[in-house]
Chain A
Amino acid sequence: MTSLDASPMTLDDDPLEESAPNGRPRNRHQRGQRAVTVSPSVIVPVASLVCALLVGAIVIVVDGANPFEVYRSVAAGVFIDNRGLSDTATAATPLILIALGYALAYRARVFTIGAEGQYLLGAIVSVGVVTADGVRDLPGPVLIALGVMAGALAGAAWGGITGVLWTRFGASIVISSLMLVYVAQALLQWSIRVPIRDPESFVPASRQLGNAQLGELPFLGTHLGFVVAVACGPVLAWLFARHRVGYRISVLGHNPSALDANEVASRRVVMMVVLAAGGLAGLAGFFEMSGVNGRLGSSASLGLGFTGIIVALLGRLHPIGVVAAGLAIAGLDIGFEVSARSHDLPSSLVGVIQALVVVFVVAGDALAARFIGEGE
């Protein structure tokens, strides 16, 4: 598994483990003291978020603004503004779907980083299908079902290329999944100019999705994709805890040789993992087009596939954690969008804070492993 081992990311603790194991005390030094039972899998991400905001405050001061004011308006942008929460939910939808795919893959230590490409392929193909001649006049529910299938399949196929390159030729998953992002971005530009271009449009773009557009759901103020994304959380959590597939993913992540010798050829599980992760990203692509953009334009590649890595890590690869992390990261985006404009701050500030979160999560994991002694 050379390409897997080559990854810079390491997950020394068991992401499956939510509670302390029975029996053996986790921490020798803790035995005599008051039992502190909050698991590091919750402390680390929360503390990382706080630390990132603290360092972010320094950047804000350097920029000449008052960090308290900025953060207050960020919070207000999310929780008090009229559409703050529903905008957050909408923005979180693709992040959650993509990050769930990453969580699946990273538990298996299949270090794909190419969800951006799978997301774009999902968007291109699903938009192509639902806007095709003779299809686009079908009733909405049929179109949406078609789009969901087309998006998921296209994303899975794009991820599958990475899988085949690895299983057949041993090509590094990290590299090939990343390179395929650029191929997908080029495909996007070509597709909105040639095969799925709206002939009426002046700029290169697809047709409007029309009947395939997702409306706002009552009470939630967001589209169907959000419900699907959030529902995927518990489904995956169940899969990891109670299904053979989840078991095999953990074994693959911890000891691929044992998987080969006892359960199933590990490359088959690797293949399944990249297909599933790609499918989730492709699904995100369709939902974003039909729920938000309404058509496929030349600026569809926003880097959600990369932000998804942050979300997966912040969510500790746990499906429920990923849903929470997706909402948190999306909340930062939405809050800062308003706040940065009113305080005359650069819009890249939120990117700095999100990147700091990753740095602190990774460092926090290393620290937790050292002090708790869970590292092997």
Chain B
Amino acid sequence: MLGSNGAGKSTLMKVLVGLEKPDEGTVHLLGAPIDRFEPGLVRARGIAMVQQHFTLVPTLTAGENLILARPTNRRLPDRASSRARLDALVERYGLEVRNDVPAGELSVGEQQRLELLRALDANAQVLLLDEPTAVLTDAEAARLLFVCRSLADEGRAVAFITHRLAEVFDGCDRVSVLREGRGVIVDQPVADHNRADLASAMIGAATTGTFSKRSAREHHLGPSRLSMTTVSSATLRAIDLDVRGGEIVGIAGVDGNGQGDLEALLSGRQTPTGGTVHIDGQVMAVAEPRARLGFGVAYVPSDRYRWGLVRPMELADNLELGRVPLRRQRRRDRHTGARQALIDWNVRSAGPGAKASSLSGGNAQKLVLARELGGDPGVVLACYPTRGLDPDAADVVAQRLVERAVAGAAVLWIGAELDELFAVSDRLFVMSDGKLIGPFVAPFDRLAIGLAMAGDTTDLVVDLTHEPSIERAARP
């Protein structure tokens, strides 16, 4: 099952294992309908899921985890019987898992195999795997596909979610593609499809109109303001990127391909394991969040309620986050200043004394923008800035960010919606597996970008040694 973020894959799986209830429709299992969607009942009928995030008890060994899931009696499992249980399964399915260490110390691949063994231990006939390869190395992923194939040969049904096209062609008989909660391709033989049509089914056709007006702006490209040289971290692999003044660079990609680390690094929350970040020619300070202000870096966080706002505090207090002076003004005077900012940025609220928790999503984001963009930043790091906003609010937010670029700021926009990124970006990169693929420039090639997002770069016709945007930028 293919689909990009938010397509509804995980929700569908959760319905199947009884974690969520469907509003309507029926599910048939081995010819009989499922009438009650409850985890225990569904499991008893032979459906098992391997979650994206493992559900093992980290302090217990592999065998003890198995016994915990399906106890044989009321006593504590002894070492010998838990080992025997594991060994029998390991031998039967050829999935190797060590039993002499706590599950928390097993490798990710082993933990996943253990999850799989636990499902098989319950004699599951239908196995659901939610993005099983996302956490695995290539070799482990190939091995997993092999195991899935042999389980299918035994007569079991195996369904797995992925956003990697290659795995569909390597390991699957049939394919479904979900987009925005609908089945775009439903249960068709893989042989009937090629990479291109699956990729375009995943990302969909261009929506018209709404975003186009944002791109109509003048381009005055200045010198490089944000520059990353071979920046690496746990999930980033030697990123090189230059963003120039007046430019908006978009970063597309499926979530979890390194965007989180990129955000953490550029916001100064995390130190890179290698490489350097320069802001206007100076090496950026790390682990010193207030230094961002001095460097002129504005940060619009991906999770505004976690990183950007303090919900139980007043709007006026929230506007001081990251820039509060040693001696603060009187509350009344703080409110006076804040009231003006709220008007300027059109934050609809009950006034500067209201709590941030009383704001709607769009107004909360405008509050973040009021604070971060208020001081003419030179670099803007915008992470999913329109996420969760209604179209009008999203439009306003995007407009504000474009204004900053027009005013000469370098804007790095990490986003999920392709159409939006196409509308605002001068250059676009796809983040895949910790690397940047691109740049792509307008007119954007949906197919090539879709393939890059699905981890497939073989068809890519973009010349990676050449930077087309610079020439393009020269024209007014």
Chain A residues at the B interface, C-beta cutoff of 8 Å:
14, 16, 21-24, 241-244, 247-248, 250-251, 254-255, 257-258, 260-265, 376
Contacts and interface: CB of A to CB of B under 8 A. Distances in A.
Given A247-B317, A261-B308, 10 more contacts: A22-B354, A244-B325, A247-B320, A258-B306, A258-B307, A258-B308, A258-B321, A262-B292, A263-B321, A376-B312
B330 interface: yes
Contacts of A22: 335, 350-354
A257 B352 contact: no
Nearest to B322: A262
A245 B308 CA distance: 19
Given A243-B327, A261-B269, A24 B350 contact: yes
Interface residues of B, number: 39
7 contacts: A14-B312, A243-B326, A244-B325, A251-B313, A251-B321, A258-B309, A263-B290
B84 interface: no
Given A241-B331, A261-B267, A251 B310 contact: yes
Nearest to A13: B312
Shortest beta-carbon contacts, A-B, top 5: A23-B350, A22-B353, A262-B322, A261-B307, A23-B351
B240 interface: no
Interface string B180-216: 0000000000000000000000000000000000000
A258 to B, nearest CB: 5
B321 A242 contact: no
A251 B355 CA distance: 13
Contacts of A251: 310, 313, 321
A21 B354 contact: yes
A27 to B, nearest CB: 14
Contacts of B351: 22-23
Contact of B355 (A21, A248, A250, A265): A21
Interface of B: 267, 269, 287, 289-290, 292, 299, 301, 306-314, 317, 320-322, 324-331, 335, 349-355, 357-358
Nearest to A262: B322
A254 B313 contact: yes
A23 B353 contact: yes
Nearest to B372: A262
Contacts of B330: 242
A158 to B, nearest CB: 28
A64 B324 CA distance: 59
B328 A260 contact: no
A260 B308 CA distance: 10
Contacts of B355: 14, 21
Contacts of B352: 22
Given A244-B324, A251-B321, A260 B289 contact: yes
A33 to B, nearest CB: 20
Main secondary structure of the interface of B (DSSP, over half): loop
Contact of A254 (B311, B320, B335, B350): B311
B322 A257 contact: no
Contact of A250 (B269, B317, B325): B317
Contacts of B324: 244, 247-248, 263
Residue in A241, A242, A243, A248 with the greatest tally of chain B CB atoms within 10 Å? A242
A21 B314 contact: yes
Given A243-B327, A257-B306, A262 B289 contact: yes
Contacts of A247: 317, 320, 324, 328
A370 B108 CA distance: 45
B290 A264 contact: yes
Contacts of B311: 254-255, 376
A290 B117 CA distance: 69
A264 B320 CA distance: 13
Contacts of A16: 313
B310 A258 contact: yes
B96 to A, nearest CB: 33
A91 B187 CA distance: 79
A10 to B, nearest CB: 12
B353 A254 contact: no
A243 B307 CA distance: 22
Contacts of A243: 326-328
Contacts of B354: 21-24
Contacts of A265: 287
Nearest to A258: B310
Nearest to A24: B350
A262 B321 contact: yes
Contacts of A257: 306-307
Contact of B328 (A24, A244, A254, A262): A244
A255 B358 contact: no
Given A258-B309, A260-B269, A261-B267, A242 B322 contact: no
A100 B407 CA distance: 49
A86 B351 CA distance: 46
Nearest to A14: B312
Nearest to A22: B353
A13 to B, nearest CB: 8
A242 B306 contact: no
B17 to A, nearest CB: 29
A242 B327 CA distance: 6
A264 B290 CA distance: 7
B350 to A, nearest CB: 3
A247 B317 CA distance: 8
Contacts of B357: 376
Contact of A263 (B287, B289, B350): B289
A159 to B, nearest CB: 24
Contacts of B306: 255, 257-258
Nearest to A16: B313
A175 to B, nearest CB: 19
A244 B326 contact: yes
A247 B350 CA distance: 22
A24 B314 CA distance: 12
B350 A255 contact: no
Contacts of B290: 262-264
B451 to A, nearest CB: 34
A276 to B, nearest CB: 17
A22 B349 CA distance: 11
Nearest to A251: B310
B326 A261 contact: no
A181 to B, nearest CB: 29
A244 B324 CA distance: 6
Nearest to A252: B310
A251 B314 CA distance: 11
A261 B313 contact: no
A266 to B, nearest CB: 10
Nearest to A376: B357
A87 to B, nearest CB: 38
Nearest to B312: A254
Contacts of A260: 269, 289
Contacts of B331: 241
Contacts of B309: 255, 258
A127 B317 CA distance: 43
